[in-house]
Amino acid sequence: MSEEQDDFDGIDIGGSWGGVRIGRGWSAGGSGNSDPEYRSIRRRVHRRLEFYRHLAFFVFVTGGLTLLDWATGGGWWAPWLAAVWGAFLALQFFTTFISPNLWGRDVEERMVRREIERRRGRVHVSNPDDGPPPPE
């Protein structure tokens, strides 16, 4: 099932053989709200919190490994680990914060509304130097 259709919050291992779910759904968490907009916002907030947890874990682990690498006089392998992990963290940042603003549902809905208004003749497209739009 797609994430938009299923509000399960936990580990979901699925396959052609069926699947296993470990955790709880949103409604079991006491939210009790079946409003689709609320669930969508809650999923977005959940993704942001996951990113912040991942970022904190990245800082603590790479910091500790860098200290360990420095203390042992190693070949400076920790920065390579941090660079690879940081690339995955940057990808998660992009998909969590930037991607929804570029081609998310909100953008699609605004574009559809704008196109409907344009076809109905309610949007005046003009040069800003032309002044205000003509009265109707």
Given the structure tokens 């002044």, which residue do they identify? Answer: 131
pTM above 0.85, yes or no: no
For 77, phi then psi, to 5°, come to: -85, -20
Mean pLDDT of the chain, nearest integer: 79
Q: With 70 as the cut, is the pLDDT of residue 87 above it?
A: yes
Q: How far apart are CA 92 and CA 94, in angstroms?
A: 5
Q: What is the pLDDT of residue 108?
A: 84
DSSP one-letter code for 94: I
Q: What is the pLDDT of residue 32?
A: 58
Q: What is the pLDDT of residue 4?
A: 46
Q: Reduced to 3 DSSP states, what percent helix, strand and coil does the chain have, rounded to the nearest 5?
A: 60, 10, 25
pLDDT class of 65 with cuts at 50, 70, 90:
very high
Of the candidates 40, 51, 128, the residue with the CA atom closest to the CA atom of residue 94: 51
Stated as kind and residue range, the H or E segment containing 8 is strand 8-15
Q: How far apart are CA 56 and CA 79, in angstroms?
A: 17
The answer to whether 89 and 58 are in contact (CB under 8 A) is yes
